[in-house]
Structure 1
Amino acid sequence: MDSYQSPADDDELSKYRGTNLLRSGTGFIWGVSDPVYNKPCPCGECGGKVIRPYIRKVDIRTACHVVYNTEEASKTAIDLFYDDQQCLLDGRMKTLDGRQMIKSRFYKDSCLMACVIHDAELDERINSALGCWYYDEPTPQDFCNIGLVSPVVNASHPILVISHPHGQPKRITAGHAIHQDNTTKPVLKYDADTCPGTSGAPVIVFDRNLREFRNPMFLSRVHCGGYVGPSTEQGGQLNIFQRLFNVLWGQKTILDQYNYGHEWSVGPEEFEDDLLRKG
């Protein structure tokens, strides 16, 4: 990825615009378009000069502070199936070139960018993976025996964050939702561990009631950032008065990590699919 081009008052990373600072982040495939046949392929390899039997547009969802606009999207490399270090050696990891920004919502720190594929084998792998989201029936699972889910009925929802911290292979961290604020803009707070490079990762919320189950692809939040907050050794976030009393009473205060992610709240049908039509 290249320099951040946004206005200076939009995001703190805008101070790096005009530089060649490499940034890493996480994203996930939001959808794949219907194929277009016998058209010039606009991918970085073909440059619109090679007619391919078929091509598809792949929509990638990530955080807006990771990729801000089309200028940045066109300089972004997207690594797919980066599951472990061995993927780099055996060719399982595939890299795509970003082409353009489809939709950007800065107030939610979420965006949708596009890339193009013409590889039949890669196309099959992507659609097979998406099929697990879209077509498989939800099946109840018991995670209590591995300590992921509290057996308490009214406990908070467990969540998973799937990311590439520090630009490294995929990692999955588990936690629980702390608070969800839907008053002004849908935001979810959670306590799963994250690191730099996690921004843009999908935050998947588990539901105990399958009657309320909806497609997790459209419900997953985008991880946007985190902060540390003081708590006691027994747990529980503290306000300023509790912190003062703890100092007076000699009780130790530690720092806990809290994270937040925003909803996108719409499906891919909202966006115009004009990248392939231009060919």
Structure 2
Amino acid sequence: MGTEHRTDEHRTDEHRPDVDRALKADCASCFGLCCVALPFAASADFAINKDAGKPCRNLRTDFRCGIHTGLRDSGFPGCTVYDCFGAGQHVSQTTFGGTDWRRAPDTAQQMFAVFPVVRQLHELLWYLTEALKLRPARSLHSEVRGLLERTERLTGLAPDELEKLDVAAHRRDVNALLLRTSELVRAEARRGGKDRRNRRGADLIGARLRGADLRGADLRGAYLIAADLGGADLRLADLIGADLRDTNLSGADLTGCIFLTQPQLNAAKGDSATRLPPELIRPAHWS
């Protein structure tokens, strides 16, 4: 039931399968960039401190994780939540032509700097690809395609150009279009005349929302850490950027919600009764 693939009347097949494939992480084609380029601090998510540009102690010589199957039990649940949206293999195989930072140490610093830039661009590609699947926003699809193609071109820039790229400015352009998309999609849930309060960026940490009717709610960037959304109806809700760490989604209906990502689900808690959008999978650690 958690991975139920049922027809969604609000979605269309109008999308780019090639982009979908490129946005799925392929760790076998990556030089362990997330395990080296990114910093993390000892916390509930990571067992140790690690500086940016320093290889994690668990990274093997073949760029695989030495404790991959036991990350959570070893104190590294943060690694199981992270997703590069395919940026790792793109930087490794396309931007740097398949030459890894160990064989060419002079490229390491630049490779590690470029990786988070491309990761942001790939995340934006994922959102734009999702927007093309939303039937109520068809009037915007031409604009979405144009911005998607523009974003794709940016991912093909040379390393020097990527380092200088103003990703924040490009993200603002994408976000403005995604907001318009969200309004069109969520308007479907507002036709019943019910008040769907704007909860964008709201502090809902630990909130008791069990069984709540949140259809069409604007939850963009909301802090839902450890909130109880058990059995809640989140159809057509906008969850872009919502913090779902330890959020209880047991029995919740997330079918038709928009801009929900796999990393957000991985950070949450759910069960076999949680209903998911067809493009996402039920995390292995859920009950």
Q: TM-score, normalised by structure 2?
A: 0.27
The structure in which a higher percent of residues are helix is: 2
